[in-house]
């Protein structure tokens, strides 16, 4: 019998005896609550050490500098604007297409970017989910539905769009400084969560979509690295992309 130990981060691990019987696997398990009295497995710790060190070195790599703390807030925030601009630019590069607009869900941003050096670890904290960036073709009338949903939810991170919210509806909409054309076709960058109808965005589910499997988090990291190579810092502010109408 081969005994496999499955290790989980948390308070419990499982011991899984594995038995091969006529090419069929029989699996049983038991649990063991981890306490302070348990001793460290020195052999396992030694095996994991080089991986842990490499991971720590990677996560603490400085990739850029932020001149201010970036925080998320509705209807608009510097952090939200930055994230939306990141996904728009990198999607354009990766898909070799001109991208008109970008939008991401508010819940995909889980923390903030502090003032000062930006480490890869900071971006993992801000974007813990493995969402990927996708490209969609959206007609103006469907885009209006999306913008009304954004207004209903109190604002989401957007790029290439300017709008006002009144009675939970989108008004005075500009797409790259031009009035929204309900008959026009626009190219939008977003993440797979929204593209699959997340956060009530069902209008996006059946749109023509291109997905190359590129992580949203990696897009932000790459954008910061590109900005740093140009000798620039991260300095995003509220720009009046979403405001409330009087």
- pLDDT tens for 37-80 read 778 888 888 888 888 888 889 999 999 999 999 999 999 999 99
pLDDT score recorded for residue 33: 79
Asked if residue 77 and residue 3 are part of one domain, the reply reads no
Q: Could you tell me the two tokens for 195?
A: 């593209």
Asked if residue 138 and residue 29 are part of one domain, the reply reads no
Mind listing the pLDDT tens digit for each residue in 76-118?
999 999 999 999 999 999 999 999 999 999 999 999 999 999 9
In terms of Cα–Cα distance, which of 149, 110, 117, 123 is closest to 218? 123
CB atoms within 10 A of CB 155: 21
Q: What's the whole-model pTM score?
A: 0.81
Q: Phi, psi (5° rounding) for residue 122?
A: -60, -40
Q: Is residue 51 part of a domain?
A: no
Asked if residue 122 and residue 10 are part of one domain, the reply reads no
Q: Is residue 211 part of a domain?
A: yes
Asked if residue 75 and residue 3 are part of one domain, the reply reads no
Q: Is residue 50 part of a domain?
A: no
User: How many domains, the chain?
Assistant: 2
Could you tell me which residue, 48 or 228, shows the higher pLDDT? 228
Q: Is residue 53 part of a domain?
A: no
Q: Is residue 56 part of a domain?
A: no
In contact, 136 and 188? CB cutoff 8 Å? yes
Asked if residue 134 and residue 23 are part of one domain, the reply reads no
Mind listing the pLDDT tens digit for each residue in 145-175?
999 999 999 999 999 999 999 999 999 999 9
- Give the CATH number for residue 99: 3.90.780.10
> For residue 30, what are the domain limits?
1-38
Across the beta sheet with 132-139, the strand order is: 158-159, 101-103, 185-191, 132-139, 209-215
Q: Is residue 34 part of a domain?
A: yes
Asked if residue 232 and residue 147 are part of one domain, the reply reads yes
Q: Phi, psi (5° rounding) for residue 52?
A: -65, -45
Q: Is residue 54 part of a domain?
A: no
Asked if residue 116 and residue 5 are part of one domain, the reply reads no
Asked if residue 73 and residue 9 are part of one domain, the reply reads no
Residue 62 CA to residue 127 CA, distance in Å, equals 17
Asked if residue 85 and residue 203 are part of one domain, the reply reads yes
Asked if residue 98 and residue 187 are part of one domain, the reply reads yes
Asked if residue 82 and residue 33 are part of one domain, the reply reads no
Q: Is residue 25 part of a domain?
A: yes
């Amino acid at each position: 019998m081969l005994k496999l130990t499955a290790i989980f981060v948390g308070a419990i691990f499982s011991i899984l005896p594995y038995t091969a019987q006529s090419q069929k696997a029989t699996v049983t398990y038991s649990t063991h609550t981890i306490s302070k009295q348990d001793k460290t497995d020195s052999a396992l710790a030694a095996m994991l050490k080089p991986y842990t060190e490499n991971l720590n070195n990677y996560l603490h790599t400085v990739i850029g500098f932020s001149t201010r703390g970036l925080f998320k807030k509705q209807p608009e925030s510097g952090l939200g604007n930055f994230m939306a601009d990141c996904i728009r630019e990198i999607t354009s590069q990766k898909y070799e297409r001109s991208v008109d607009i970008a939008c991401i869900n508010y819940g995909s941003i889980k923390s903030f970017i502090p003032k000062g050096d930006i480490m890869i670890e900071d971006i993992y904290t801000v974007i813990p989910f493995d969402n990927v960036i996708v490209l969609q073709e959206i007609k103006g009338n469907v885009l209006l539905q999306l913008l009304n949903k954004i207004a209903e939810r109190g604002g989401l991170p957007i790029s290439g769009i300017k709008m006002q919210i009144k009675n939970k509806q989108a008004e005075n909409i500009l797409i790259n400084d031009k009035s929204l054309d309900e008959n026009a076709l626009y190219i939008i960058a977003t993440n797979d969560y929204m593209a699959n109808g997340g956060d009530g965005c069902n209008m996006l589910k059946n749109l023509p979509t291109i997905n190359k499997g590129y992580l949203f988090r990696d897009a932000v990291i790459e954008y910061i690295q590109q900005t740093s190579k140009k000798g620039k810092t991260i300095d995003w502010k509220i720009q009046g992309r979403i405001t409330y109408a009087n």
